[in-house]
Amino acid sequence: MQLSDEYLTQHATLVANLGIAIPNYDRRKLEVGIVHLGLGAFHRSHQAVFNEEVLNLTGDLRWGICAVAFSNEQLKNQINAQDGLYTNVRCGKEQNFQIVGCIKQALVASKQMQEILETLALPSVKLVSLTVTEKGYCLNEAGELDINSANVQHDIKHVLEPKTAIGILVAGFYVRFLKSQSAFNVIACDNLPHNGDKLKKATVALANEIRPELARWIEANAHFPNTMVDCITPKTEVTTVSAVETNCRFNDSVPVQREPFAQWVIEDIPGIERPQWEKAGVTFTSDVAGFEKAKLRILNGTHSALAYIGSLLSIDTVYNAINNTQIKAFISGLLEHEIIPSIDAPVGLDLADYAKAILERYDNPSIRHLLNQIAADGSIKIPVRTLEPIKENLATGRSIERLSIVVAAWIRFIVSSVEQQTEISDPKKQQMQVVVRGFSGDSKQDVAAFLSIEGIVEKDLLANPKFVDSVVQAYSEIDSFLASLANTQL
Ligand code: CS2
């Protein structure tokens, strides 16, 4: 039988006997206090689970979630068919199953904008959170709203029928502004440094194109705290669905699988009305930047390194890549010599211990995290994860040799995808294909052409010969570097 409220009522004893955690609050009385943009697995494995814990602990029913998918109507229908319920599968030494109930309703932006705007205008809605991936922020290489993008231009002309997440935020603010309601606050939950600051700037910039007073109103009334989010969440697979069926004895079309570890650090801004997330272990601090930088460079940075190097060696998962002795040695050197020295540790965080714990998290045989998933959107991820530390290392005279190998491996990965005609998942896919098809075989020319694709490398860095030469060197040696790593499983 399908998971639903009715199922839980009718099979309460069976579910309890199986040791499955269920919502212990009255879901029928849940109000919508949060609108979440981005109904993917990460929201459901991370923020929704923290939120669920607070609902379970406090019974404060103001904080139900209305979750918005952008175009995945099927996902929206599947969640609603289960009354918003889904299973969170924690994959550690054992599998542990929890039914999460804090999503009250799902909507899809491509078809239900009117309802979404009505929900955003509800007085009960105090927060809008987002997991829209890095590319969802519509930023250019300088980290500002990419005003020239077609979707942003669309949102300027069709304010109440927006396509982008930024456009939805602006439309939501606009509706509240016109009704003289209070503004909601916005919690960015994607892997970008200063995610809240950047989102606020982009939202205000878009609003300014539409109505300058609206921009000023948002600027004065809405908070966008910066956050750091962390929880390894591979895509849901058929095996996730069948594990739920076998262990829980009901059908769930939309479970999520994640590692046991999860962390959420939010900038502490007084006056934001929100759930008592600290009761679920969320850290509120004035130094999010330190946590963000540490996580983005140590975890996401090594993730991208593993994704490109591993994929080029035909390795499929993070677990298999980190269990190759030579790859692990490379990652350890990268961390020790070039990544950790680029970070000012936030108070109380020992970066070497933090990095060690992350490598241990990768070594989890119950998590099948596909390198292919991580390899997507390199043109947006590499600048944050790899080019930023390169820039800072260059400024202070530290080594960039290993970081350059990561950039070279990314370029080689794209080249090999073009050669083998495999799908490239990246917003700059077309530009990259054109450039790579024009490659001459001369590393210097080819690397220069690739790095010059608009919107990837900041102008100052591109003009720095130390950077370009280092990537050229790494690229010209990348095949022998890869060969030196091959066939060395632990
Ligand atoms: C990964 C992240 O896909 C990727 O780019 O690096 O999704 C990573 O798994 C999460 O940030 C972990 O918190």
Ligand 1 close to Cβ of residue 381 (< 6 A): yes
| pLDDT tens-digit readout, 376-426 | 999 999 999 999 999 999 999 999 999 999 999 999 999 999 999 999 999
DSSP 167-186: HHHHHHHHHHHHTTPPPPEE
pLDDT computed for residue 315 by the predictor: 97
Ligand 1 close to Cβ of residue 265 (< 6 A): no
**Numbers of helices and strands, H then E, in the chain:** 25, 11
Ligand 1 close to Cβ of residue 373 (< 6 A): yes
Residues found in the chain: 490
Ligand 1 close to Cβ of residue 134 (< 6 A): no
Quick one: pLDDT band at residue 487, thresholds 50, 70, 90? low
| pLDDT tens-digit readout, 280-292 | 999 999 999 999 9
pLDDT computed for residue 486 by the predictor: 83
3-class DSSP state for residue 347? coil
| pLDDT tens-digit readout, 27-73 | 999 999 999 999 999 999 999 999 999 999 999 999 999 999 999 99
Helical pair 443-451 and 401-420, crossing angle rounded to 10 deg: 90
Beta bridge partners of 251: 2
Ligand 1 close to Cβ of residue 303 (< 6 A): yes
Percent above pLDDT 70 for the chain: 99
Q: Which helix (H) or strand (E) holds 332?
A: helix 325-333
pLDDT computed for residue 142 by the predictor: 86
Q: Which atom of ligand 1 is nearest to the CA of 303?
A: 6
Q: Which atom of ligand 1 is nearest to the CA of 300?
A: 6
For residue 490, pLDDT over 50 is answered with: no
Q: Which two tokens stand for residue 165?
A: 């997440």
pLDDT computed for residue 214 by the predictor: 98
Quick one: pLDDT band at residue 488, thresholds 50, 70, 90? low
Residue identifier of the C-alpha nearest atom 3 of ligand 1: 374
Q: Residue 210 region, left (φ>0) first, then alpha (ψ -120 to 50), else beta?
A: alpha
- Residue 452's alpha-carbon distances to 107, 113, 200, 467, in angstroms, are 40, 38, 28, 13
Using only the alpha carbons of the chain, give its radius of gyration. 23
| pLDDT tens-digit readout, 247-256 | 999 999 999 9
Averaged pLDDT for residues 155-172 = 98
Q: Is 47 exposed, middle or buried (0-12, 13-18, 19+ CB in 10 A)?
A: buried
For a substitution probing ligand 1, which of 299, 379, 381 has the most ligand atoms within 8 Å of its CB?
A: 299
For residue 489, pLDDT over 60 is answered with: no
Residue identifier of the C-alpha nearest atom 10 of ligand 1: 232
Ligand 1 close to Cβ of residue 47 (< 6 A): no
- What is the Cα–Cα distance from 182 to 227, expressed in whole angstroms? 23
- Residue 96's alpha-carbon distances to 15, 22, 58, 248, 288, in angstroms, are 13, 12, 23, 10, 30
| pLDDT tens-digit readout, 20-29 | 999 999 999 9
Q: Which residues of 204-242 are buried (b: 16+ CB within 10 A; e: fewer)?
A: bbbbbbbeeebbebbeeebbbbbbbbbbbbbebeeebbe
Q: Which atom of ligand 1 is nearest to the CA of 381?
A: 5
- Residue 180's alpha-carbon distances to 127, 138, 140, 183, 208, in angstroms, are 17, 28, 33, 9, 18
Ligand 1 close to Cβ of residue 374 (< 6 A): yes
Amino acid letter at 324? N
For a substitution probing ligand 1, which of 49, 134, 232, 261 has the most ligand atoms within 8 Å of its CB?
A: 232
Neighbours of 420 (CB within 10 A): 7
CATH number of 5-286: 3.40.50.720
Q: Which of 185-199, 268-282, 475-489 has the lowest mean pLDDT?
A: 475-489
* Average pLDDT along the chain: 97
Reference 217, options 179, 190, 255; nearest CA is: 179
For residue 448, pLDDT over 50 is answered with: yes
Q: Spell out the domain ranges in the chain.
A: 5-286, 289-485
Q: Is 149 exposed, middle or buried (0-12, 13-18, 19+ CB in 10 A)?
A: middle
> In the CATH scheme, what is the homologous superfamily, with its name and number, of domain 289-485?
N-(1-d-carboxylethyl)-l-norvaline Dehydrogenase; domain 2 (1.10.1040.10)
Q: What is the DSSP letter of 337?
A: I
| pLDDT tens-digit readout, 289-308 | 999 999 999 999 999 999 99
Instruction: Report whether 86 contacts 233 (CB < 8 A).
Output: no
